Amino acid sequence: MGAGHGGPLGSAYVARDTVVHRLPAHVALVAVVAFALVVVATPVRAAWAPAYAGYAVLVLGAAALARVPAGRLLRGLAVELPFVVFALLLPVVARGPRVEVLGLSLSESGLLAAGGLLAKATLSVLAATVLAATTTPQDLVRGMQRLRLPAVLVQILSFMVRYADVVAGELRRMRVARESRGFRGRGPGALKVVAGTAGALFVRSYERGERVHLAMLSRGGDGRLPAGPALAVPARTWLTGLALPLSAAALLAAGMLGA
């Protein structure tokens, strides 16, 4: 079936056995969210550049510890591209005092804002990429369940993880069937055919939903997904996991005190 670990959703996962991989999913989730919060809370001023550099060392250190290949990190950064475009525009369009760079007149405040935006986005995306590379989608969902995120949200995500492959497979089969009968996907007629496929996919998914519901009822289900036992996490594991955001917070605090 789906290529890689977990098909379309699990392709981010890099199977390794490291300290980072062994962290329980909910600990890793808390760590990444806390890290991102610290990064976002850091002021955007030239004097804070060392703090940002420190964060970068921390998150790259975590990536190295988890043995996430550099290529994987770079691919993770691709989601950041829209921000990059926006950030590149900022110095050009922003007002205020101007500086000359390579013959271009750029806004000083715009440059700073762009730098801050890029740094924050890059750091947060790096942390999220490390999380995705070290935790499988099913563990992530379980982690969210443990953190008591709203049950409906967790269920939707859990069904998404489970059925992404099945739906992708259905879509692939429909495309193969279409193309085997000479469909090219161009011209004004194509849109109608693709819309038809989308409609068929919706009906198939809806009917599968009904059958899954029957199967749940047959095993005594009442619409909730019973959770398994939650193994207690020792304080040391929490410390290991939270080392990343705690060090980042320490950098932030040091900067605040120094300022």
Partner 1 sequence: MSTPPSLLVEDLAFAYPDGHQALFGVDLRLERGERVALLGPNGAGKTTLVLHLNGILAGGRGRVSVAGLPVEKRNLPEVRRRVGIVFQDPDDQLFMPTVGEDVAFGPRNLGLPEPEVAARVAAALEQVGMAGSADRPPHHLSFGQRRRVAVATVLSMHPEVLVLDEPSSNLDPAGRRELAEVLTGLPVTMLMVTHDLPYALQLCPRSVVLDGGVVVADGPTREVLADADLLAAHRLELPYGFDPSRA
Kindly state whether residue 166 participates in binding partner 1, applying the rule CB under 8 A. Answer: yes
Kindly state whether residue 193 participates in binding partner 1, applying the rule CB under 8 A. Answer: no
State the nearest-atom distance from the C-beta of 66 to partner 1, in Å.
20
Cβ-based neighbours of 204, under 8 Å, separated by 6 or more: 170
Kindly state whether residue 161 participates in binding partner 1, applying the rule CB under 8 A. Answer: yes
Kindly write out the interface string for residues 83-122 of this chain, putting x where it contacts partner 1 by CB under 8 A and - elsewhere.
----------------------------------------
State the nearest-atom distance from the C-beta of 10 to partner 1, in Å.
8
* Among positions 141, 144, 244, 251, the unique one binding partner 1 when judged by CB under 8 A: 141
* Among positions 103, 219, 232, 259, the unique one binding partner 1 when judged by CB under 8 A: 219
Kindly state whether residue 216 participates in binding partner 1, applying the rule CB under 8 A. Answer: yes
Query: In angstroms, how far is CA 45 from the centroid of its own chain?
Result: 27
Nearest 5°: phi and psi at 79?
A: -65, -15
Helix (H/G/I), strand (E/B), else coil: 156:
helix
Kindly write out the interface string for residues 195-214 of this chain, putting x where it contacts partner 1 by CB under 8 A and - elsewhere.
-------------x--xx-x
Residues 23 and 241: beta-carbon distance below 8 Å: yes
> Per the structure block, which two tokens stand in for 152?
């409906």
Helix ranges restricted to H, the chain: 7-10, 19-22, 25-41, 49-65, 70-77, 81-93, 108-134, 137-146, 151-180, 188-218, 235-258
Nearest CB to partner 1, comparing residues 108 and 165: 165
State the nearest-atom distance from the C-beta of 249 to partner 1, in Å.
32
Kindly state whether residue 222 participates in binding partner 1, applying the rule CB under 8 A. Answer: yes
Measure Cα distances from 89 to 82, 117, 232 in Å: 11, 12, 49
State the nearest-atom distance from the C-beta of 167 to partner 1, in Å.
10
Task: Please report where in the chains the tokens 């899954």 appear, as a residue.
Answer: 212
